[in-house]
A and B are shown apart, each in its own frame.
Chain A
Amino acid sequence: MQKLLLLGDEAIAQGAIDVGVSGIYAYPGTPSTEITEYVQKSKEAKEKNIRSEWSANEKTAMESAIGMSYAGKRAMVCMKHVGLNVAADGFINSAITGANGGLVIVAADDPSMHSSQNEQDSRFYGKFAMIPILEPANQQEAYDMVSYGFEYSEKMKIPVLMRITTRLAHSRSGVERKKSIKQNAVNLPENLKQYILLPAIARKQYKVLLNNQEKFIEESENSNFNNYYDNENKKLGIITCGIAYNYLAENFEDQKIPYPVLSIRQYPAPIKQIEKIYDECDEILVLEEGAPVIEELLKGLLNKGKTIKGRLDGTIPRDGELNPKIVADALGIIYDETENIPGIVAGRPPSFCPGCSHIDSYKALNEALRDYSKGRVFADIGCYTLGALEPFNAINSCVDMGASITMAIGASEAGLVPAIAVIGDSTFTHSGMTGLLDAVNNNSSITVLIMDNSTTGMTGGQKSSALGKIEQICIGLGVEKEHLHVLKPLKKYHEENANIIKSELKYNGVSVIIPRRECVQTLNKRMRKKLKVQVTENVLKQI
């Protein structure tokens, strides 16, 4: 079969389509978004009736996937690493309920924080939930592991976590497909009480999970995804996790790596192989893309054994993603000297697109706040977070999805009145609605700007769950009609908009202001498509 040129994300999606998945559940988040987008665009997925609509957030996605697995079908749920924090309640407890139809959770980590607010390592979550973890080293393996993961999940009746990082997610390479298989039929769990986590049942189910731990280790020890390469020079043994192996191999190109190497891509960690490399080598170097998970386990609290090198002793930087040079430095391999970045090169941070509605919204907000002291604007996660940069300097926080409204509540209760929340439309339905309910119930003195560009912008313009629903949601939650305003963020309405914000800042209660204008990117895309349709129609007419 001809190879497909796929991103790591797309390889996972194609793997899911081919292995009989019935549903993909997700909320967009870099670097995981392209998994779901690929399924949404796939003709094959459409023919197979694979559901792939966006969920309101990662928690609802996770829980829907658990439901599909309960009903006996294969389900995949995809998110960025911090999305797993949102989904954590369902995720951790799904290890206790166990899986019925195969359940694979994909978490895409972002070491070096290319598009994220932290670089947490999702392997901790897998360990926390005590479930197996797969960590592919390349695009082909990402494809292959999806099928392995679903089989494993159904064989052991357990959700499986697949952890990838930005470099694999967003790098393209050739992938060979396998034969596609059919979806499962609806088939409920044998024990219809398995998913009722009342304490009496949960205690039993938890014991099942605990008793399975040894089997999971055995699976890892026998897995084709964990490889031991014996080599002569035993002064050093190298343990690599996931794509770290590639950076090691890159430094030896045509030569053989002189040291024994253990390449781990399946967890729980394969104890036998780790014991072997530890016993046979004088020192151990651990290469992990992310946190020092294996390194810490090896060192233990007391670190009284052999020398373990890695991120904890400074052999590898403590933060940030790996690359070939970092691994070369750790091994004493020296690269050619090159030029530094010339001094004249200026930084080029991301910025608002020309014509973006957020520019006008922030100008109006800054104008309205002119007479107040600084430091009152709690923002959220999305394109509008770029309001933090010059020349706007318009916001003071960006913590997690939905935190704008709730932080404004706390700050206003501390005496910072007025406090302002800035949140996007998609973020509002992701995690802002419950916070707004709190604000209404508290009668908090806050002004909430829901910056409605009618899309999930930062991740590339996915459909927003909030589309056409924001006013009804706000009214339903108890926001007073006379303190709910919709604005058109355009230069010509600047003064009018600033005045409306200004007057609501004085209101001693909850105000919601919705600056609404479509994202220029999605607008352009829509116009181009429309144009194309028109052109095609005209051509057809001529024929």
Chain B
Amino acid sequence: MKKDIILAGVGGQGILSIAATIGTAAVNSNLFLKQAEVHGMSQRGGDVQSHLRLSSKKIFSDLIPQSKADLIISVEPMEALRYLPMLSPDGWVITNINAFDNIANYPDIDKVLDKIKSLPKHIAIDADKIAKDIGSPRSANIVVLGAATPFLDLDYSSLEDALKSIFGNKGNKVIRANLDALKAGKEFAENNLY
């Protein structure tokens, strides 16, 4: 088993929670893991990414080689496109469709979404709306993670367990919200696979 995943978003959008969830699930499934994060300056509203590598064998590089990523999981649509050079020709893009517009020259969102929809393998999900509908607007990032679960090759229950342990000290309400978000994302992806 080997999965190379690019996580993308804007500083503060919660991609490190996604990384921590997949990472915890992978380690508990006895997989090797490397996870390169962005700390420091870019966390101030800049573009951030994390290289997440899972494998049943020893992993050398902390960075995913260009054109070898199996998945791009993005909590922001334009940020998903930024990492297309990293994506393998059969790779999937799973992205939120809601723009995080903190720059003066953000492109026309319709053009961004058209580009995503032109990709052969993609899941474009309105994670903000789904998160709001289930009463947990702050869990949009976990909704996106949920939409990626069919592609991760990890037991779904291992991801649930990871969420329980990561949000364990925040109380049952927060855990429940995140589990619901994960499930809602998963269901969306399963209904929109083509």
A residues contacting B by CB (< 8 A) are 3, 5, 7, 30-31, 33-34, 114-115, 167-168, 170-174, 243, 245-247, 249-251, 323-325, 328, 335-342, 344-353, 383, 386, 390-391, 458-460
Contacts and interface: CB of A to CB of B under 8 A. Distances in A.
A245 B11 CA distance: 30
A424 to B, nearest CB: 14
A244 to B, nearest CB: 10
B37 A336 contact: no
Contact of A114 (B42, B60, B84, B106): B42
Contacts of A245: 60
8 contacts: A3-B27, A31-B40, A171-B37, A336-B68, A336-B88, A341-B85, A347-B103, A351-B44
A172 B68 contact: no
Interface stretch (B28-36, B144-152, B185-193): B28-36
Contacts of B88: 336, 338
Nearest to A80: B40
Interface of B: 10-12, 23-24, 27, 32-47, 51, 59-68, 78-79, 81-82, 84-89, 102-108, 111-112, 115
Given A247-B61, A341-B81, A34 B39 contact: yes
Contacts of B10: 348
Contacts, number: 159
A423 to B, nearest CB: 18
A351 B60 contact: no
Contacts of A251: 65
A349 B36 CA distance: 20
Contact of B61 (A324, A344, A351): A324
A341 B67 contact: no
Contacts of B24: 5
Nearest to B36: A171
A458 B112 CA distance: 31
Contact of A344 (B12, B86, B103, B107): B107
Report which residue of B45, B88, B102, B112 has the largest number of chain A beta carbons within 10 angstroms of its beta carbon: B45
B23 A5 contact: yes
Contact of A325 (B66, B103, B106, B111): B66
A86 to B, nearest CB: 18
Contacts of B84: 338-342
A351 to B, nearest CB: 4
Contacts of B35: 171-173
A331 to B, nearest CB: 13
A115 B42 CA distance: 8
B107 A348 contact: no
Report which residue of B41, B85, B102 has the largest number of chain A beta carbons within 10 angstroms of its beta carbon: B41
The 7 residue pairs across chains A and B that have the minimum distance between CB atoms: A30-B40, A115-B40, A350-B46, A324-B65, A250-B61, A171-B62, A350-B44
The A interface is mostly helix, strand or loop, or mixed, namely loop
A485 B35 CA distance: 47
Contacts of A33: 39
Given A30-B39, A344-B115, A458-B40, A339 B23 contact: no
A383 B42 CA distance: 11
A174 B40 contact: no
A114 B41 contact: yes
Contacts of A250: 60-61, 65
Given A247-B60, A337-B67, A338-B89, 20 more contacts: A30-B39, A30-B40, A172-B23, A173-B32, A173-B34, A174-B27, A323-B63, A324-B64, A325-B66, A335-B65, A336-B89, A338-B67, A340-B84, A341-B81, A342-B81, A342-B115, A344-B111, A345-B107, A350-B43, A460-B39
A390 B104 contact: yes
Contacts of A172: 23, 33-37
A336 B67 contact: yes
Report which residue of A174, A324, A328, A348 has the largest number of chain B beta carbons within 10 angstroms of its beta carbon: A348
A174 B55 CA distance: 12
A338 B66 contact: yes
